[in-house]
Structure 1
């Protein structure tokens, strides 16, 4: 695939202007809500993916920043920077300010493009409060800033880039146009993962600086969808080591072109089906013709293979589709001209290609089974076991259905039902333990709140077959109480008896385990309840603060700190350099100090030396931007500070990027670097930003002053924060709750069940792949994988109740 070697301003074609985007954004990005917000990210990412498709990009990076701005950059060729003949400004400015301007509208610059359906990065620019463009091209770094789509100055060269090439766009969505500007990490991750495995060899990284510690994923699938199948089955026992993979092409009806298809699948010893389907790189989560063709061919071919091998001697009837898909992990990807989708979200493919998909799978899978008879026998054997279990499950399901068939008759005896008959107004609390259940029954509003106490820990359905699950008493009680039935044939969301299913467990290890078991059940067997927003987790308060007759409930650690600092500011003030600091100013200063403590802890984890972190808090240093690290004098200042605390270091120059860094050894004698990479890390940036924010008042010694004339000198900011917290907790009684049983019925109602004042956490599915992996890791059979997960995450735990 040969590209035009002269990718420059002449490659950029302009189709139309940008005037209407800010007035009618939904016309261009679908909505001004969360879907539209994330569409802005996809537009930028898809430009980088197109560079990869053209063979010029191997890595894409995405970082969500603390202020909900976001950066996306790649190692492609970089947007052309020369002057566009038709517009008189740089080609990059044309791309950023003209709707549908780009290099994909002829067949020279890009032979293949996945982003032709989009509206261009100019739309992103128009809907951004601000946007910063950085281009590395021709050995130079070029930069330009925009405000609401308007360039603030021409594109200009700001430094050398060495051999580095690519484009970086950082933007913050405009809150005056968008309904929400808060990005969801999991939603973006799902999209980026799909792009990575649909484009072999493309590495995509995403990080979220808002998390503590920062959350990050790396997506890289050298083997494409076959590699992705291995990822999905990681930690599971598979029936055959290598995924079954094949591809093929077929002519479409009525001379509409050819459809190209890729299919990969692998069986594991589990009981659930994991299936992803795509059409032209779009995730068709509602399936469609390609998925129908795959399922038809799979069922038909496995039945045919079993009959040919004589494996059905003891089987009364043919295997059903459910039987052959038990434990199946599959990905189907098709590419076709002019695909027809159903609905605005393109969730279902309507193009008539099911026959073509069925033909390819029939031929390729029969050929595979002929060459791999041992694998075929294992797959057919698992399907036969599933058929036998299906019959046992049918009997158990019929029993459950009979018990709950008649409008409340036969409901579980321990269910305290509500009086309201309208499901949209009803709530069902699934409560841990008979004792807490009794408290909840005493505290509820019986008009619309039902209580179902659960005894002990329910069955882990990740490890249990369908028939065993339906034989578990507590699970049968839940199914009967909710009224929806269970299973692909019987589940009916319209029969749900409660609009809200609320999990209410203790705030301890056992409570977390029970909550996870319940969520595993809902995810594996009643996923539509989560999809439609019916499943919630109650949020009981963590603290109760008492002083005399007054009581105040606090829901989390952050609010507890705020309350303590507020109380401290009522009884004391600060004197800093002779100036009195009190009230809101004092609380803001102390809150920033508290956040600075957490930020320095995170930076110390990276640097492994508190002396370095302490030095980096100095306001005399200029080590925040790339330009700062291009000046050796800035690193010499840091070296001087480290010399004062007896820490040896050396300064090293990076000739390729014309920058300097400081190198030292931590306590383990490992080499650590203060350089450009550290300066771009979220923990470093936040630490330095907070240090600057508190600098005007962070001038010890401090004096704590009370109205009675008491005056105490404090020598440093950490001691000041600790002493202030002590003052805030003086003369009050703090109760830290761990269990629901520690509250009486009135307290439980006031804090957790009363719709007027409670907080509920709604369970959403944002990233199906990540969700599936977490449930498999935490609840599956692979002990080693679970141990590794615990080791990797243990240090991030702040508070652990055992």
Structure 2
């Protein structure tokens, strides 16, 4: 018996149903023989229809793909869309040396395969704390990208179970990973055994280099034709103790409906290089041979979004918002700034840019929101959580144990907070700094706008007819052209109203209206806007008189009544009621 060739061996990994058993063909032949024996005009299946299949064959309908073919056929399941899209994104502006948010045309799939190799390089820091350097080179002219990191290399030895060198397994065999042991806490980005292999599959050429001090060997291997062709590894001696891993690849631009690396793609990839420089602590990051200098680490990275351009003549304080930054332990860095009316976030989990946020962002945002509201409880205003969050801009750099995401594109963290492997309790000093920012001013402004809208809902109008107000006897001419001649009598309770009604028997009801008060009116000077808006007595008086919130009156022409008469007892309570009513009108 001859040995299995590569295609036979690859079927172990193929998706779909198992192959059809050999006995199926004789059985089909026997059925066909029986069918021939039937009378003319009768179909083989016995129901009068033709036995000949029309349209595509079963082989054309039911197909079995290899894993590589499946990735190429359904890329959106692995790397996102391979169609160019227009989207507002943060990119690095090489002119201003700052992050800029603008609409770019890019292909998510291309961005993702580059990102996978970058995250691999950053992951090595978690495996080897002595790692000090990441180098990214973008060869725009030839469409080639290389990413190299120092620190511990990949073991250059043959995996006995799979009879292949470990570097080949890692970069050239799908579903191979060192991250499958979920009982072991790992703060890396890799998880599912796809990662770098996806970059290999979507590249016309993919080169792996690594140096292993233990075996004193250097490894070099070339993959091509979307990982279909695997070159023979070249292994040479490596006498020094310096280890590294370098990946060089040329994306298959045709698969991304592209021809080259354009300005938008380079601006986006450059931003990801800056992401690494800000997120991977203790590592120098180089882009095209030039060091990216972020002297204060993640805080300097945050400033790229918030400070004015480096070539600006204006002082920093004139344009930049306050930044509140703090490092919480060795796994969390949080920065806060004020956002005007819309929640914003820039977050990372193990160097992965979680562009859509997730549980880690909610974890921090909810704490800040809750503590902020608690800090302003002494004020009269009632603050809803969304008003705080909508004026918040968070920057989070987190290291999460064994993270889980919504998909292979890893845009949203889904892991529950209790499984993070660490906690980040927002401290009192952090919140004190937050309280000193413009957040309170913005929230107060939003609250005031909402309260004004609520108060306007209770506004009255000059109308000749009002219904639905209990204890009101409206003047017949109120709200008409004779409104200025009408008087509203506000009585202290129902007993005073009875007396007033008796008096109307003499004066008549055309120009006099009566409204009985229920106890003492609200002291609007000490009440919050929401309390005033919710006070039915206050709202009723506004409706009866036709008063509008915030309006300044120089005459009574816009009102339903030209005069107000307060009919209260001549005692302390009566005087208090008169004062509260006058106070209400004055406010």
In terms of fraction of residues, the more helix-rich structure is: 1
Which is higher, the Rg of structure 1 or of structure 2? Answer: 2
